[in-house]
Amino acid sequence: MTPRPMTPRPSRRSPFAPCTPYPPDVAARYRAAGHWRDDTLGDLLSETARRHPGATALVGPSARSRHTRVRLTYQALVDRVERAAAVLASQGLAPGDRVVVQLPNVAELAVVVMALFRLGALPVFALPAHRESELVAFCRITDAAAHVVAGQGWGHDYLATAARVADTLRAEHRDPPVVIDVERCDLEAADPVPLRRSTPHGARASEAVAFLQLSGGTTGVPKLIPRTHADYLYSVRESVQICGVDATTVMLVALPATHNFPMSSPGMLGVWMAGGTVVLAGDPSPRTAFGLIAAEGVTTAPLVPPLVQAWLTRAERDRAALHSLRTLLVGGARLPDSVARRVGPELGAQLQQVFGMAEGLVCYTRLGDPADLVETTQGRPISEADEILVVDDLGTPVAEGDEGELLTRGPYTIRGYYGTDDRSSFTSDGWYRTGDRVRVLPSGHLRVTGRSKDQINRGGEKIAVAEVEDALLRHRAVHDAALVAVPDAYLGERTVAFVVGEPLANDLTAGSLTAHLRTIGLAGFKIPDRIEIVDRFPTTGVGKTSRAELRRALARGYTERSQ
Ligand code: AMP
Ligand code: DBH
């Protein structure tokens, strides 16, 4: 029997919130230059399957039994994706629906994400570390139709968290998302059904928003990043060239796979574009990683700096496992120059530094760059069309080579966040304020020297200072709170929260505050590494209470006391 094409059902959800579009003349320029094309992320796997049907596309644990390693050819993966798209459609998902995807690195993650693209539904890329606080916010902002989780077998009871998220939303008279548990739901239960294409924004389907990424953010409310098929595919295509990804590439993904870095720089999508193999690690430990590298002949991997250090330690006794490794992509946080120098000699892989952001701009050191640029810079932008501006505190461009805040615009950098009127991260002429302080070298390479945003980078995991302080202030006995970063040899930065209690709150302890943050449902990496209860914040002696000054003084005081 010939399957009938599935007709998308009109969504009962609120419509997709408006996103700030690229100005029409700019969009026309990107189209004319060939940066933006007509294909979509839903076409990516089938295009490659036509060229390499029998090549291995994916190796990874299965959600249902973590010790089973699933191995899928491109043909088999496309078949699974088409079946899963039909299953998701039968669960009521329609084109344009937003779907929170919160999965560990299991084969089903790849299947679900690619099936959502196929269906024209928009994944909202949560991380496994997110808890009620973040998940409720994602659902509120997007009016999510579904929340995809991996049951209870992956180190946390995701199902219970999903139920609490739904309860909270119901209490607010919102329509909670349908919970889809990939441990229980059979994603292969339906025949692959040819899906009728939806073109949500008229004929240019490729210029519609494809998914929502997360920003580390600087405020109490998470920010969602709307990326289009055309802009993302451009960045992936160029990344594939720059990183030399081809059909012989075997990429290990030990970082959470829905993060922008392992997804697209060049990431899983880059490997699938080129016909290579993605190997998912079910946990990020060097032990698991080294085992997979040896067993699967892994050639490359995206890593954050703390993982590089962990790999260096393991390589002291297990260097032989790394024989197939060719390159390592390192980014997410500043890689210390001293660690960068050890990658070649001790891991036997060529280092590529990556300085990127889910909002867009990605910089790479190039494979042919001299060693000193690779070891001491964070690379140069992907594209000639990436515009870079370095400005002082007043927004005036600095002299060439001077340090300042990085602003950027380009063919894959967003012009606004999703579903908010807050334009504070963008200038009136469309530049994205990265909040990163950089220096541009004569070669065009950027050195990241610091940041001007209220964000802490804990080994690549971004923490908005205001979000944690707000969460602490929700405790009845907390009068004031300040979160500061202290330097850490392994993570780059650790967090310390200083808390002033209410006058009669004698029972305030670090333990009770940690418990409070967990009850609120804050992601584990945002829980302060240390909480100090103080009588009052020390004064700076400047005469005014600038919070920035206060934080600096606190950080100084803390390091002095801890020495
Ligand atoms: P997000 O906006 O949450 O995607 O996080 C992107 C941010 O991560 C950047 O704006 C930088 O602050 C930081 N980052 C990413 N890669 C690097 C790197 N190689 N060196 C220093 N900081 C980095
Ligand atoms: O930290 C990041 O967000 C990041 C790092 C490297 C990123 O988004 C990317 C490459 O694309």
What spacing in Å lies between the alpha carbon of 321 and ligand 2's midpoint?
27
Closest ligand 2 atom to residue 216 Cα is: 3
Of the pLDDT bands very low, low, confident and very high (cuts 50, 70, 90), residue 17 is confident
Ligand 1 close to Cβ of residue 206 (< 6 A): no
Of the pLDDT bands very low, low, confident and very high (cuts 50, 70, 90), residue 537 is confident
Domains of the chain, with CATH numbers?
36-223 (3.40.50.980), 285-453 (3.40.50.12780), 455-562 (3.30.300.30)
Contact between residue 390 and residue 398 where contact means Cβ atoms under 8 Å apart: yes
Of the pLDDT bands very low, low, confident and very high (cuts 50, 70, 90), residue 437 is very high
- Count of CB atoms situated within 10 Å of the CB of 192: 17
Question: Each residue of 356-400: pLDDT tens digit?
Answer: 999 999 999 999 999 999 999 999 999 999 999 999 999 999 999
Residue 562 pLDDT > 80: no
Of the pLDDT bands very low, low, confident and very high (cuts 50, 70, 90), residue 561 is very low
pTM of the model: 0.93
Question: Each residue of 471-481: pLDDT tens digit?
Answer: 998 999 998 88
Ligand 1 close to Cβ of residue 358 (< 6 A): yes
Task: Identify which ligand lies nearest to the alpha carbon of 362.
Answer: 2
| Nearest-angstrom CA–CA distance, 274 and 429 | 36
| Nearest-angstrom CA–CA distance, 309 and 229 | 35
Question: Each residue of 469-524: pLDDT tens digit?
Answer: 989 989 999 988 889 888 899 999 999 998 989 888 778 999 999 999 999 999 99
Q: What is the pLDDT of residue 559?
A: 46
Question: Each residue of 170-182: pLDDT tens digit?
Answer: 999 999 999 999 9
Ligand 2 close to Cβ of residue 260 (< 6 A): yes
| Nearest-angstrom CA–CA distance, 484 and 107 | 38
What spacing in Å lies between the alpha carbon of 286 and ligand 2's midpoint?
21
Closest ligand 2 atom to residue 332 Cα is: 1
Ligand 1 close to Cβ of residue 448 (< 6 A): yes
Ligand 2 close to Cβ of residue 304 (< 6 A): no
- Count of CB atoms situated within 10 Å of the CB of 29: 15
Ligand 2 close to Cβ of residue 104 (< 6 A): no
Q: Residue 340: in which H helix or E strand, if any? A: helix 337-342
